[in-house]
Structure 1
């Protein structure tokens, strides 16, 4: 796997370390990024399911009242 070096603000790095429960900024950033990406994928999946459900509802013919 290719590695990338990223510079972060020291306060941000410390906060990520505390949240991840690790003692190294390098060890903290990867799980934080992976978690963020996983949340994005879950959100996309929920939105797609909701959109599909709305399409099913919108696709049905409506009764005309008159």
Structure 2
């Protein structure tokens, strides 16, 4: 999951940080890709609107239920 996509979905870095209960500077340290555990958390928070992706393959790695 791209950090920019997560920020865009929530509207701002601050709003994303608040949703995840982390500091805004923590978000700014992520780089281009959301850390994998945070990506799963964001997928749940967005009810699947944002999907976890493999940073190596660029494809979705979430399993269909």
Which structure has more RCO (C-alpha within 8 Å, separation ≥ 6)?
Answer: 2
Q: Shared fold by TM > 0.5?
A: no
* Bigger radius of gyration: 1
Larger relative helix fraction:
1
TM superposition score normalised by structure 1: 0.32
